[in-house]
């Protein structure tokens, strides 16, 4: 499935499935969500700069929920750039009952310093809301996708069907402090991608908060000379979009 024509045919086939679930966003859509940014600059005996930005938006219209996300990380030191990655995603859910939904989505990432030039996954499946109380929310989704990736050293395109799973948990300790934990799995024959994001957020006002986050990412089969595991710790100012 690595031939460009096979890649295009596979993406087109799954796109047909996705388009049955992705209506045009209504003109009266009202997006809400959060934007956050963190920056660290050091100078003196050594100079380093690092920053991260993240944006998550959602629109709920009747039984439909549309989600958009973007994240980027950059770091450099005296010798040059040491980290540069960005990721974009879109997902639309159709709630066909109180606790069940169907979804279709697309995720793309570009990482200058990993073993993969880029990874892209088009997916569709079903989700379920397992728990919803004043303090806790737990949901999960499972499906299939078509995943394509381009490796570095050697340069090679890998494409295959993938199993997709996401588990999303949120706990409110009180009115101002929350814990979130999101786990993502993309299991393909050539490489299995895992990511877990844990964050604690403390509100300072109705719209502003501070958050500390820890991310673990793993690729099971990167090219030689590249590590399987990456971690990222960030401290961010969060702005709530209402």
CB 152 within 8 A of CB 117: yes
Q: What is the pLDDT of residue 19?
A: 46
Separation of alpha carbons 161 and 145, rounded Å: 6
Q: Which residues 6+ apart lie within 8 Å of 43 measured at CB? A: none
Over residues 117-165, the pLDDT tens digits come to 899 999 999 999 999 999 999 999 999 999 999 988 888 898 999 999 9
Separation of alpha carbons 191 and 112, rounded Å: 18
3-state SS, residue 9: helix
Longest dimension (CA), the chain: 60
CB 223 within 8 A of CB 154: yes
Mean model confidence pLDDT for the chain: 87
- Of 14-18, 147-151, 202-206, least confident by mean pLDDT is 14-18
Mean pLDDT of 87-111: 95
Q: What is the pLDDT of residue 49?
A: 86
CA triple 191-4-162, angle to 5 deg: 30
CB 116 within 8 A of CB 151: yes
**What band does 37 get if pLDDT is binned at 50, 70 and 90?**
very high
Q: What is the pLDDT of residue 2?
A: 41
Q: Confirm whether pTM is higher than 0.75.
A: yes
Half-sphere exposure of 129 (CA within 13 A, CB side): 15
Beta strands in 14-173, from DSSP E residues, in sequence order: 32-42, 48-61, 64-77, 80-95, 100-111, 116-132, 136-151, 156-172
CB 135 within 8 A of CB 145: no
Secondary-structure percent of the chain, ordered helix, strand, coil, rounded to 5:
5, 70, 25
CA triple 9-14-19, angle to 5 deg: 120
Q: Which CATH class is domain 4-20+42-241?
A: mainly beta
CA triple 206-213-51, angle to 5 deg: 90
């Amino acid at each position: 499935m690595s031939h460009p024509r096979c890649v295009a045919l596979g993406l087109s086939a799954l796109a047909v499935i996705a388009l049955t679930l992705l209506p045009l966003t209504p003109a009266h859509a009202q997006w809400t969500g959060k934007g956050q940014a963190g920056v660290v600059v050091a100078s003196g005996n050594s100079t380093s700069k690092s920053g991260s930005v993240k944006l998550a938006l959602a629109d709920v219209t009747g039984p439909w929920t549309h989600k958009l996300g973007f994240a980027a990380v950059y770091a450099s030191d005296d010798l040059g750039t040491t980290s540069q990655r960005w990721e974009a995603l879109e997902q639309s859910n159709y709630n066909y009952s109180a606790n069940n939904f169907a979804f279709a989505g697309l995720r793309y990432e570009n990482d200058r310093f990993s073993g993969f030039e880029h990874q892209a996954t088009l997916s569709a499946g079903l989700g379920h809301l397992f728990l919803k109380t004043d303090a806790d929310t737990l949901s999960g989704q499972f499906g299939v996708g078509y995943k394509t990736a381009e490796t570095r050293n050697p340069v090679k395109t890998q494409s295959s069907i993938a199993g997709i799973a996401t588990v999303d948990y949120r706990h409110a300790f009180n009115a101002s402090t929350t814990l979130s934990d999101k786990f993502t799995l993309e299991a393909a024959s050539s490489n299995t991608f895992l990511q877990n994001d844990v964050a604690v957020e403390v509100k300072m006002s109705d719209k502003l908060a501070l958050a500390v986050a820890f991310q673990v990412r793993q690729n099971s089969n990167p090219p030689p000379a590249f590590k399987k595991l990456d971690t990222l710790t960030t401290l961010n100012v969060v702005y709530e979009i209402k």
